[in-house]
Amino acid sequence: MRVLVTGGAGFIGANFVLRTLAERPDVEITVLDKFTYAANPATLASVAEAITVVRGDIADATVVDPLVADADLVVNFAAESHNDRSLADPSSFVQTNLVGTFTLLESVRRHGVRLHHVSTDEVYGDLDLDDPARFTESTAYNPSSPYSSTKAGSDLLVRAWVRSFGVAATLSNCSNNYGPYQHVEKLIPRQITNVLSGIRPKVYGDGANVRDWIHVDDHNDAVWTVIERGELGETYLIGADGEVDNRTVVESILELMGRPADAFDFVTDRPGHDRRYAIDATRLRTELGWTPRFTDFRSGLADTIDWYTAHRAWWEPAKAGVEATYAATQRTL
Ligand code: NAD
Ligand code: TDX
């Protein structure tokens, strides 16, 4: 099977490539990635001989079309993915997440190729902290940020291309991922690498915001489950019952790294900051038989701390720039 992995040099896409190579010898992989700031070329260096890597933009039909024509399956991880950046400058989010997805859809339509579109639970907006509800496949879309609204728009394009043009696509909307190779701009790698760099971790606002954490390998196993057993045209939510508030995440990192649990700062809140995400993955579990393997968040966090501690050369070049950008807008409360 020939699989085109768009965004395959980013955090989740690269973990998908590495795991697929290790577990599915029958799969031939081509990565299409623009290599934005979010892609670290070192991530796929160890498998360079085993895959084809094309540097290009999913919004460029002249690059996309021949690659799609040669594939049996396209898995679309490519996106601008960071909420804080989308607030500073939304333009690349509209271009990649909307125009890019449109370009892929037109190409899979032209060539009759199967697509799996990877998306986020943020399309559903947020929940109150004391709301017993969780997101399901029938929750109404209500995105808050330029990032989540462009992901919501990309999902709606996929659904429309399924219904109007009979494109063979599935969708999945996953909660917050953690694990190796995640960019240091994101909460967990930022705080681990802060501690490793002698910088105090930074918690936005009051730290009570809740995210539903899942290990990246569990997400990618679920993506394969949907590809192999999902019904065409359908959406599946992916989550592993991992709700934790941000303050607790940061306190756990500090404790696991042998620091006092209160050795962090509260900083300026994110504008429009979603309060809580929570996924009900019953459909994926009961209809498709998926179960997560990383069910102990604290031990997954400990493994992630070990990974960043052992891979300083991978993250250190990006660290100072990320912290300088944050420092320009965030002050200690
Ligand atoms: P990431 O930012 O780490 O990686 C994105 C990759 O896409 C990078 O390699 C980047 O170079 C590439 N890219 C960006 N614009 C491109 C373009 N125009 N053409 C080709 N490549 C381009 O993001 P991630 O965290 O790995 O997220 C991957 C996907 O999963 C995204 O669609 C995101 O919305 C979704 N998702 C992420 C999470 C999470 O917690 N990180 C959770 C749910 C869903
Ligand atoms: O320094 C920080 N301090 C802090 O308190 C950072 C970077 C974040 N936060 C908070 C904001 C969020 O409540 O932590 C939470 C997680 O923040 P991010 O890592 O930026 O992730 P989030 O905004 O929740 O979005 C992530 O999960 C869903 C991914 O970046 C998205 O791509 C995915 O769709």
Structural domain contains residue 6:
yes
Structural domain contains residue 223:
yes
Cα-based distances in Å from 326 to 120, 190, 318, 321, 329: 24, 11, 13, 9, 6
Look at the chain and report how many structural domains it folds into.
1
Residue 117 forms beta bridges with which residues? 76, 171
Question: What pLDDT is attached to residue 117?
Answer: 99
- Residue-wise pLDDT for 269-297, tens only, equals 999 999 999 999 999 999 999 999 999 99
Joined together, the tokens standing for residue 329 give 């807008």
- Alpha-carbon dihedral angle through residues 278, 73, 12, 90, given to the nearest 10 degrees: -80
Q: Ligand 2: does its nearest atom lie under 6 Å from the Cβ of 150?
A: no
| CATH for 24 | 3.40.50.720
Question: What pLDDT is attached to residue 129?
Answer: 98
Active site (catalytic) residues: 121-122, 147
Question: What pLDDT is attached to residue 259?
Answer: 98
Question: What pLDDT is attached to residue 135?
Answer: 98
Question: What pLDDT is attached to residue 29?
Answer: 98
Mean pLDDT score, 247-263? 98
Structural domain of 24: 2-178+214-238
- Residue-wise pLDDT for 190-249, tens only, equals 999 999 999 999 999 999 999 999 999 999 999 999 999 999 999 999 999 999 999 999
Proportion of the chain above pLDDT 90, given as a percent: 100
Q: Where are the alpha helices (DSSP H) in the chain?
A: 11-23, 61-69, 83-88, 91-93, 101-111, 146-165, 187-197, 216-229, 246-256, 282-288, 297-310, 312-329
Residue nearest to atom 2 of ligand 2 (CA): 187
Q: Ligand 2: does its nearest atom lie under 6 Å from the Cβ of 219?
A: no
For residues 267 and 333, what is the distance between their CA atoms, to the nearest angstrom? 5
For residues 179 and 217, what is the distance between their CA atoms, to the nearest angstrom? 8
Structural domain contains residue 76:
yes
Q: What is the DSSP letter of 332?
A: B
Structural domain contains residue 321:
no
Q: What is the DSSP letter of 43?
A: G
Question: What pLDDT is attached to residue 155?
Answer: 99
Q: Strand 210-212 and strand 73-76: pairing?
A: unpaired
Q: Ligand 2: does its nearest atom lie under 6 Å from the Cβ of 122?
A: yes
**ipTM of the assembly?**
0.99
Structural domain contains residue 15:
yes
Structural domain contains residue 136:
yes
For residues 216 and 269, what is the distance between their CA atoms, to the nearest angstrom? 26
For residues 269 and 331, what is the distance between their CA atoms, to the nearest angstrom? 9
CB distance 302 to 249 below 8 Å: no
Average pLDDT, the chain: 98
Mean pLDDT score, 82-102? 98
Tell me the pLDDT band of 101, cut-offs 50, 70 and 90: very high
Question: What pLDDT is attached to residue 59?
Answer: 99
Structural domain contains residue 183:
no
- Residue-wise pLDDT for 20-65, tens only, equals 999 999 999 999 999 999 999 999 999 999 999 999 999 999 999 9
Could you write out the three-class secondary structure of 212-275? ECEEHHHHHHHHHHHHHHCCCCCEEEECCCCEEEHHHHHHHHHHHCCCCCCCCEEECCCCCCCC
Strand arrangement, sheet containing 28-33:
52-55, 28-33, 2-6, 73-76, 114-120, 169-174, 235-238
Dist. CA 204 → ligand 1 center (Å): 23
Question: What pLDDT is attached to residue 190?
Answer: 98
Cα-based distances in Å from 219 to 50, 63, 78, 119, 267: 23, 28, 15, 11, 30
Structural domain contains residue 298:
no
Residue nearest to atom 32 of ligand 2 (CA): 81
Burial grade of 245 (CB within 10 A; 0-12, 13-18, 19 or more): middle
Question: What pLDDT is attached to residue 312?
Answer: 98
Angle at 169 between CA 164 and CA 173, to 5 degrees: 115
Q: Please choose from 11, 44, 93 the residue to mutate so as to test ligand 1's pocket, defined by most ligand atoms within 8 A of CB.
A: 11
